[in-house]
Structure 1
């Protein structure tokens, strides 16, 4: 009999355990459903937050891209202007020896220079209208390696010409502020 009692007690305990287990499972299900609802709400909030962050990132990328494009456009326009202003540089460099020949011919006495002078003036006006500027009045000025090329040095005729330009062998020219040809000069030492 004690065996039967023990068995019934064990079965009763098993039944109570199973009832308690069912209650625990129901509680867990209810809690988990509540958590799911909370997670769904949190998921919606985090999704909107992530969309807002992504929106800000895209706006930032757009602004940066727009500013880079604007800088590119300005730089390209500036380069085009520089290219246009100096496009004729090689042609002008080839014409400069003709100007030099004209100037040398004017120094020779006894030539009929009237026709040559007209041609020279017309050519120099055309070149100056394109931005060519001669480097004039260099004698007595301080030597500057950015604009002048020293051919030689001679003893200075006076103390105030030491380190300065004494003579110009070949005239220098500038095109739109850039040196086309350096002036070849003699410096006093």
Structure 2
């Protein structure tokens, strides 16, 4: 609810309360003192319940906004770290080609620690494999090539870039090549 709508709702609530109070006051002029007091008590209870409900709605709304803020802040940081993770993956492929086992082991340890840290913050890999049917909801087709075999037509031929999701939301779609 926007601030303008909240202001209108608050004005409407105040008008209803004022009208209720005016009606109660008109009725109290004809009633006995006990009836007047019970009428005033009912009006105050009504006002209290409305105020309490408005406060509960405010608490719920601010809690929801706070959760959304934390999710989006975390998402931006994780998206900024994805290119670093991609660079680690490419570096590991090249280091495996060399014969330096110590360097390979060190980079693998750092890579695993980095992946574990991102995973602990909610980052998950979007699973797409060569041979899977292409689904535009879960992957982005960069290009199409003639299918190497008949069974790969309309399916994923190659995965160029991994995709990731945060919770249920995909923050980066996997980039794939499809068979035509």
- TM bucket (normalised to shorter chain) is 0.5 to 0.7
Q: Considering only aligned residues, what root-mean-square deviation do their CA atoms show, in Å?
A: 2.9
Alignment of 1:22-101 (within 5 A): 44-45=30-31, 59-101=45-87
Q: Give the match for residue 152 of structure 1.
A: 143
Once the two structures are overlaid, the 10-residue window that deviates more, 72-81 or 167-176, is: 72-81
Q: CA deviation at 1:74?
A: 1.8
The Cα shift of 1:117 comes to 0.8
User: Which residue is 1:25 aligned to?
Assistant: none
Matched, 1:176 2:167: yes
TM-score by length of structure 2 reads: 0.66
**Number of equivalences:** 148
Question: Relative to 1, partners in 2 of residues 1:137 and 1:43: Cα closer, same or farther, differing over 3 Å?
Answer: closer
CA distance in 1, matches of 2:132, 2:39: 65
Partner residue, 1:135: 126
Q: Is 1:188 aligned to 2:176, yes or no?
A: no
After superposition, give the CA deviation of every residue in 1:26-80 in whole Å (9 maximum; x if it has no partner): xxxxxxxxxxxxxxxx952499989877765664454344323323312321332
Q: 1:67 & 1:172 partners in 2: Cα distance?
A: 44
In 2 relative to 1, CA 165–62 (structure 1 residues): closer, same or farther, beyond 3 Å? Answer: farther
- Could you tell me which runs of 5 or more consecutive residues in structure 1 were left unpaired when the two chains were aligned: 1-41
* Aligned: 1:110 with 2:98: yes
Deviations 1:86-110 (A, max 9, x none): 4222222222112111111222211
More displaced stretch, 79-88 vs 147-156: 79-88
Instruction: Give the stretch that moved more between structures: 70-79 or 47-56.
Output: 47-56
Distance 1:169 1:188 in 2: 14
Between structure 1 and structure 2, the one with the greater Rg is: 1
Unaligned 5+ segments in structure 2 are 1-27
